[in-house]
Amino acid sequence: MYRYDEFDQSFVLERVAEFRDQVARRLSGELTEDQFKPLRLMNGVYLQLHAYMLRIAIPYGVLSSRQMRKLAHIAREYDKGYGHFTTRQNLQFNWVELARIPDLLAELAEVEMHALQTSGNCIRNVTADHFAGAAADEIVDPRPYAEILRQWSAIHPEFTYLPRKFKIAVTGAPHDRAAVQVHDIGLHAVRGPGGKTGFAVYVGGGQGRTPLIAHKVRDYLPEEDLLAYCEAILRVYNLEGRRDNKYKARIKILVHEKGKAEIAAAIEAEFAQLKGKTLNLPEADVQAISAYFAPPSLEQLAATSAALETAKAANKALERFVRHNVTAHRNAGYGVVTVSLKPIGEPPGDATAAQMEVVADVAERFSHSEIRVSHEQNLVLPHVKLDEIPALFAELAKHNLATPNAGLVTDIIACPGLDYCALANARSIPVAQRLSERFADIARQEEIGDLKIKISGCINACGHHHVGHIGLLGVDQKGKELYQITLGGSADEHTSIGEIIGPGFPTDKVVDAVEAVIDVYLGLRKGPEENFLDAYRRVGAEPFKAALYADA
Amino acid sequence: MSKAAKPFRPVAITANDLRSGIVVFRTETGDWVKDATRAEIALDPAKAETLLAAAKLDHDRNIVVEPVAVAFDPESRLPVLLRERIRAQGPTVAIPGSV
Amino acid sequence: MTVYDVKRRAFGEDAWSFPADDEALPQGPAAITKARFLRDRETLLARNAPLGLVLVAGETFDGIENDLNRFDLIALKFLRYADGRPYSLARLARERHGFKGKLRAIGDVLRDQITLMLRAGFDALQPTHEGTIAALRDGKIVTVDHYFQPATREEREEGGYAWRRRPA
């Protein structure tokens, strides 16, 4: 993985010093709250429902064991002993004191981390496929490009006060695990003429109150033009994006209002001026960054592991874990292991300091000290020998980290909701917990198959409900929590926005309603091989509406 | 058309402590405390305005941030709305690792 | 002492006047709006004193690109410090249109934005925020001077990758 050089280290330390100065000025009264707010946001500090919340950047979701241990330490020393992994591959601490944040950031800098640009109207933490560098279906490793973009976007002198936040996602496999079509810029790395790396470029996707799927503005952008093209997009957006209405300020609205053709032309015109100049990306630099992401030295092994097969035959729980939480690795004899942060009945994405330490330890023992954070709020150990999965499973199981539910109905995404978030209108976590308990039976989960439930506690859609196969949106109706159900959303290479199925359900009815939807699916599917999304796309909303609103 | 004035509901003043960020309520003595039940409750609009004005002074003096008046139930001595009750009492879900 | 000159690292008196559109131009350096320039272009350019242009965030150089170097001063007004359009305009003035005169940032500028402004090509600052003025005067700006992208200001290529820069 990427390691800071002296330049990066100096940069981060200077930034910590700068923020220390800003916090001191705020506490002394030199800065008012209005003046301080954008400065703290640019450093990831929010004022949430209960306290200050710090959002730490985990660039494209990649962590080392050493970094994870530091996060565990911070959870204990500066917070209440836990953290929340988010849908943007970040980590949030919910209870930090403002006066101590500069010290906390200095500790983070010791392990080459920061909280820079995890909020504010700037280019946010760049996200990527959480299986990058390991997945069998990968064509181009997106991490070097995500790293280059991370660097280029750091305190960008032109793009730090944009109309609104700006999110870039990169993927490099045909199956899109990074949801690039619902980002401000989505980059899909491909091999072009002569095997050279380039990008299909998508612009103007996003969720929030106006979910829109991005438009493809380029089929193939040569690698060397990556930064110049992004700068062109950002410049057009910075100058033309709406600033009169916060809710219409994202680039998706600009693209929607002006039309794809006009925006694409504006981007191309700006790009023509920038191409081949100072932002040209030299091949040698790409190679130097890519070298950091060279695969660890993996052994030549047989495709199947006799040890694992024997252990599976003797242990049904292990067999289930492997079936659901282990994905094909590009290297024979290895697997990509999903560590579930969705134990039955627990808040999705939360991990205690002790659990973080366990993951750091097992990553060290079994996965070359590498950990990934997925936007599905799980952790991933990217390079595990199949032979060692039984030992890994046993260790994870001891700490409630081996729930065999990756991709199943209890692998629920949920935002923090009204339990933590100042913007929320309704709670998300308790609904996720009750759904998880309702479907706790693993045999039933397996019968239901692939199903993504995503819950947001307000229209800002941090819980990605628009792209859930089943999405729940919490709203406040005269002081009562109400949940709207959307069906048919998806955030992969066949992205679609879920459709609102009808009036919302009160909190004591919503779990029954979701179960009713699932029962309808089970009743009408062609067979177990037709998953929920495919079945929904085949039959449409009507059968589900009929079941949910039979009495209406 | 002028809207009919809403009937007044009792309120208390809440904010976040500037240094720590924690949720605090303003007491009769002008202190800011974590315990919502110790909040001073305004039973009429004039009192509510006085209390909020005093709280805003504390904001300007960099003691608290985002002071607001929230509807308060004088019986339970807790906020009326779910959001404000969660602010006053903490998340409705268990803190991970606390059990 | 209202305008900070970046090269001299000091505040100085403002030599420029900023007359309203319906006011007669005073003697000496005067900065005018884009609307006035478009209306009275010929007369203004014939005038025998330095001419400046004031743009408010939201206005662009459209239609006057080729006239920019007739100005000795371009002043960009930040309406709110969160409105980042002037950064793009500054870079375009310098990099795209080759503007060589003074580029001044006017408005509620926080000291934390100053490095961004300088990197975007501004070389004069007219802040209204007391703390910013004091920090500039006393040279007390805590900032970052390792950069990860080329910008407008002349800087050293340093740091091992094409996109990295240090102050010149």
- Asked whether the beta carbons of C143 and C114 are under 8 A apart, the reply is yes
Strands (E), B18-94: 23-26, 32-33, 41-42, 64-73, 78-79
Domain boundary among A70, A95, A110: A110
pLDDT at B3: 57
Contact B97 A429 (CB under 8 A): no
- Look at residue A299 and tell me if it is in a domain: no
Q: DSSP assignment, residue A166?
A: B
- Look at residue B72 and tell me if it is in a domain: yes
- Look at residue B95 and tell me if it is in a domain: no
- Look at residue A37 and tell me if it is in a domain: yes
Segments forming the whole domain that contains residue C116 = 3-142
Hey, what long-range contacts does B46-54 have (CB within 8 A, 24 or more apart)? B48/B8, B48/B11, B51/B11, B51/B12, B51/B13, B51/B26, B52/B13, B54/B13, B54/B26, B54/B30
- Look at residue A439 and tell me if it is in a domain: yes
Tokens at A103, concatenated: 């010290």
Residue in A with minimal Cα distance to B88: A50
* Number of C-beta neighbours around residue A237 at 10 A: 27
- Asked whether the beta carbons of B70 and B88 are under 8 A apart, the reply is no
Helix (H, G, I), strand (E, B) or coil at A36: helix
Looking at the structure, do residues A253 and A322 belong to the same domain, yes or no? no
Number of structural domains in chain C: 1
- Asked whether the beta carbons of A103 and A97 are under 8 A apart, the reply is no
- Which residue of B17, B18, B59, B70 is the best one to mutate when testing the A interface, meaning the one whose CB has the most A CBs within 10 A? B18
- Counting residues of chain A whose pLDDT is more than 70, the rounded percentage is 100
Q: Read off the pLDDT of residues A230-244 as tens digits, 9 standing for 90 and up.
A: 999 999 999 999 999
Tokens at B73, concatenated: 């139930």
pLDDT at B4 over 60: yes
Side-chain half-sphere exposure of A256, counting CA atoms within 13 A: 16
Q: Which of residues 31-70 of B touch A (CB under 8 A)?
A: 59, 61-62, 65-66
**Mean pLDDT, chain A, integer:** 97
- Look at residue A122 and tell me if it is in a domain: no
Looking at the structure, do residues A472 and A436 belong to the same domain, yes or no? yes
Min distance B7 CA to chain A CA atoms (Å)? 16
Contact A288 C148 (CB under 8 A): no
pLDDT at B1: 45
pLDDT at C112: 83
* Number of C-beta neighbours around residue A300 at 10 A: 7
Tokens at A289, concatenated: 């960054």
Looking at the structure, do residues A286 and A316 belong to the same domain, yes or no? no
User: ipTM of the predicted structure?
Assistant: 0.97
Q: Read off the pLDDT of residues A414-450 as tens digits, 9 standing for 90 and up.
A: 999 999 999 999 999 999 999 999 999 999 999 999 9
- Look at residue A64 and tell me if it is in a domain: yes
- Look at residue C80 and tell me if it is in a domain: yes
Q: Read off the pLDDT of residues A312-354 as tens digits, 9 standing for 90 and up.
A: 999 999 999 999 999 999 999 999 999 999 999 999 999 999 9
* C2: nearest Cα among C113, C124, C121: C124
Contact A154 C142 (CB under 8 A): no
Segments forming the whole domain that contains residue A16 = 6-110
In the predicted model, what is the mean pLDDT of residues A55-84? Answer: 98
- Which residue of A3, A151, A161, A237 is the best one to mutate when testing the C interface, meaning the one whose CB has the most C CBs within 10 A? A161
Q: Read off the pLDDT of residues A184-222 as tens digits, 9 standing for 90 and up.
A: 999 999 999 899 999 999 999 999 999 999 999 999 999
Min distance C155 CA to chain A CA atoms (Å)? 12
CA gap C69, C133 in Å, rounded = 29
Side-chain half-sphere exposure of C27, counting CA atoms within 13 A: 0
Which chains neighbour B (Cβ–Cβ under 8 Å, 3 or more pairs)? A
In the predicted model, what is the mean pLDDT of residues A49-74? Answer: 97
Contact B16 A351 (CB under 8 A): no
- Look at residue B41 and tell me if it is in a domain: yes
Looking at the structure, do residues A286 and A259 belong to the same domain, yes or no? yes
Domain boundary among A94, A110, A126: A110
CATH number for C135: 3.20.20.70
Which chains neighbour A (Cβ–Cβ under 8 Å, 3 or more pairs)? B, C
In the structure, what pLDDT confidence band is assigned to residue B7 with cuts at 50, 70 and 90?
A: confident
Contact B19 A49 (CB under 8 A): no
| Residue B16 contacts A where some CB pair is shorter than 8 Å | yes
pLDDT at C130: 86
Looking at the structure, do residues A381 and A417 belong to the same domain, yes or no? no
Bridge partners, residue A212, by sequence: A206
- Look at residue A128 and tell me if it is in a domain: no
- Asked whether the beta carbons of A475 and A395 are under 8 A apart, the reply is no
* Touching, B vs A (3+ Cβ pairs under 8 A): yes
Q: Which of residues 60-79 of C touch A (CB under 8 A)?
A: 60
CA gap A153, A509 in Å, rounded = 45
Contact A419 B82 (CB under 8 A): no
Using a CB-CB cut-off of 8 Å, the residues of chain B touching A26 are 18, 62
- Which residue of A41, A415, A427 is the best one to mutate when testing the B interface, meaning the one whose CB has the most B CBs within 10 A? A427
In the predicted model, what is the mean pLDDT of residues A269-289? Answer: 97
- Positive or negative, the CA dihedral A65, A70, A72, A73 is positive
* Number of C-beta neighbours around residue A2 at 10 A: 20
- Look at residue C158 and tell me if it is in a domain: no
- Look at residue C134 and tell me if it is in a domain: yes
CATH number for A156: 3.30.413.10
- Asked whether the beta carbons of A263 and A204 are under 8 A apart, the reply is yes
Contact B81 A82 (CB under 8 A): no
Q: Which amino acid is at A161?
A: Y
Sheet holding A127-128, edge to edge: A127-128, A168-171, A185-191, A197-203, A215-222
- Which residue of A103, A415, A418 is the best one to mutate when testing the B interface, meaning the one whose CB has the most B CBs within 10 A? A418
Q: Read off the pLDDT of residues A110-160 as tens digits, 9 standing for 90 and up.
A: 999 999 999 999 999 999 999 999 999 999 999 999 999 999 999 999 999
Looking at the structure, do residues A319 and A219 belong to the same domain, yes or no? no
Domain boundary among A243, A262, A290: A290
- Counting residues of chain A whose pLDDT is more than 90, the rounded percentage is 97
Contact A154 C162 (CB under 8 A): no
- Look at residue B80 and tell me if it is in a domain: yes
Number of structural domains in chain A: 4
Terminal C-alpha separation, chain A:
56
Looking at the structure, do residues A369 and A425 belong to the same domain, yes or no? no
Contacting residues for A272 by C-beta, under 8 A, at least 6 apart: none
Residue in A with minimal Cα distance to B21: A51
Alpha helices (H) in A44-165, listed in sequence order: 65-78, 101-110, 143-153
pLDDT at B98: 80
pLDDT at B97: 87
CA gap A251, C109 in Å, rounded = 25
Tokens at A528, concatenated: 């177990």
Looking at the structure, do residues A168 and A278 belong to the same domain, yes or no? yes
CA gap B48, A233 in Å, rounded = 50
Segments forming the whole domain that contains residue B41 = 11-89
- Asked whether the beta carbons of C149 and C157 are under 8 A apart, the reply is no
Contact C82 A161 (CB under 8 A): yes
Contact C131 A30 (CB under 8 A): yes
The alpha carbon of A300 is separated from its chain's Cα centroid by a whole number of angstroms, namely 32
pLDDT at A34: 87
Exposed, middle or buried by CB within 10 Å (0-12, 13-18, 19+), for C56?
Answer: middle
Q: Give phi and psi for A517, each to the nearest 5.
A: -60, -45
Q: Give phi and psi for C32, each to the nearest 5.
A: -125, 170
Strands (E), A155-285: 168-171, 185-191, 197-203, 215-222
Number of structural domains in chain B: 1
Q: Read off the pLDDT of residues A511-538 as tens digits, 9 standing for 90 and up.
A: 999 999 999 999 999 999 999 999 999 9
Which chains neighbour C (Cβ–Cβ under 8 Å, 3 or more pairs)? A
